[in-house]
Amino acid sequence: MKTFTIEKETNHITLHATVQDAEAVANAECFSSEAGLAKLAADWPGAQLIQTWNNLPGAIPIKKFKDRATAVSRIWNAVQSVGEEPKTATPETPELALVTPQTPNVAPETVLAMTKASGAAKQPKPATKRESSKTEAILILMKEPGGVTLKAIMEATNWQAHSVRGFISGTLGKKMGLTVLSTKAENGERRYSIPS
């Protein structure tokens, strides 16, 4: 059974190898179950519950809990993953995983070294250059002699007409600073081109 202490002054939680080790810690209270933690926290002000949660390394800082039972439950669940394999965490249910569990030859004052499991599990995606983008495809089409029709751009990009017009005006015209010529043929079909 895991036995924890919570320091009275700092609200730091520490895992101990044995109950005797936990009981030997001065100026700290012991608990080994959610009910035990709830009993300790029954008289705490809300600020102390918040400080206890925010002191957990890797915990997403909060400003308040919905109620005391929620606070106790979240704190208890967070410390339960100590010594277990990391699990996937979400912002709604931040689970914590132990990095280095406390052993009998580590001082009891050592605070739980925990990290958010999802942070350890996520690897940054390598930057890859796309073979070709829709912007490049549109630019190539618009640089063709005589330009390109709205319909041809729609087919090349799988976009709707309003998206193509917005892209031409916003991205090409305003963001990229390109001059886009728009002409209307005798049949009423509009053609877009970029002068070379």
**Would you give per-residue pLDDT tens digits along the chain (196 residues)?**
788 888 888 888 888 888 888 888 888 888 888 898 899 888 888 888 888 888 887 778 888 888 888 888 888 888 886 555 444 444 544 444 333 343 344 443 444 443 333 444 455 555 555 555 888 888 888 898 888 998 999 988 899 999 999 998 888 888 888 898 888 888 888 899 998 7
Backbone phi, then psi, for 9, in 5-degree steps? Answer: -85, -40
Question: Cα–Cα distance between 75 and 176 in angstroms, integer?
Answer: 51
Question: Cα–Cα distance between 24 and 79 in angstroms, integer?
Answer: 20
**β-bridge mates for residue 116, sequence order:** 96
pLDDT given for residue 162 in this prediction: 93
In the block, which residue shows the tokens 């490049």?
Answer: 136
Backbone phi, then psi, for 53, in 5-degree steps? Answer: -65, -50
- 3-state secondary structure labels for all residues of 110-154: CCCCEEEHHHHHCCCCCCCCCCCCHHHHHHHHHCCCCCEEHHHHH
pTM: 0.43
pLDDT given for residue 160 in this prediction: 93
CB 19 within 8 A of CB 30: yes
pLDDT given for residue 107 in this prediction: 42
In our burial notation (b when 16+ CB lie closer than 10 A, e otherwise), range 33-59 reads ebebbbeebeebeeeebbebbebbebb
